[in-house]
Amino acid sequence: MKELEGQVRTCQLCRLAKTRTKAVPGEGDVRAEVMFIGEGPGYHEDKQGRPFVGAAGQFLNELLGIAGLSRESVYIANVVKCRPPQNRDPMPDEIAACAPYLARQMALINPRIIVTLGRYSMAQFFPGERISQIHGTARMVDGRMCVAMYHPAAGLHQASLADVIRSDFRKLPIFVEQARLMTRPPIEVAAEQVAEAEEAREAVVYEPETSAVLEESAAYKAEIPTPPVEVQAVAAPESEVAPAPASRRKKASEKGAEYKQLSFFDT
Ligand code: URA
Ligand code: SF4
């Protein structure tokens, strides 16, 4: 896990590497029975390099208490390890580039239960499901119990949800008891999932061997508004300046024939 954490902290495999302060590999007990998977780091997580340390993290701590769990006894990770700028949703190619880290964490920890926090995490285990329908319920996915929970931040934004989330977490000890009666999935299953995730990563990452940052997909470029000229003219502290979309576009086109289209998500 230490080695993996080191790889994450220096990872350059997607564009989020350019805007992050610190990558957030995850933390907790490597032999945890319960593994929580959030979406991605927010402002405070990006500053500290630790998961769930902001307001949502405070609420998560309360929820863990309700479930009779301590932060030290569980493992907490995220779908993407670097903060998307302005807390935008992570993009499919970023999720695919990052997925092997999560797959390897799951393989190392081999938890009895995975608890997904929010939509993006849920989508990895309950594709096509709606959080409003399945929150607080458990399913067996590839031989492992998975429980979908609302993201703690949802409870902060919508007061009526906070109590729903609390009562969902109250059920967690029962699920843990049930999961203890089951055998954990064999290591071969985890190894296969790591291999699959690594294959999918290769489809979106430009030169994975050399850790070159992946080039921008057409969809991503289309989403970036061209910054007004005045904004470009404003002098900002070096460290605060994000790479301008214009220069990113140029870089992609400069690659010419070498540039690898990210057709994986276009289909
Ligand atoms: N929200 C998340 O999904 N993950 C964190 O680590 C923090 C906030
Ligand atoms: Fe960060 Fe993950 Fe992207 Fe690597 S692939 S830069 S760890 S978000």
Q: How far is the CA of 41 from the centre of ligand 1 (A)?
A: 5
Q: How far is the CA of 250 from the centre of ligand 1 (A)?
A: 33
Residue-wise pLDDT for 52-80, tens only, equals 999 999 999 999 999 999 999 999 999 99
Residue 199 sits at φ, ψ, to 5 deg, of -65, -45
Using pLDDT thresholds of 50, 70 and 90, give the confidence band for residue 200: very high
**Structure confidence at residue 223 (pLDDT):** 54
pLDDT for 190 beyond 50 = yes
Using pLDDT thresholds of 50, 70 and 90, give the confidence band for residue 47: very high
Q: How far is the CA of 92 from the centre of ligand 2 (A)?
A: 12
- Closest-CA residue, ligand 2 atom 5, reads 98
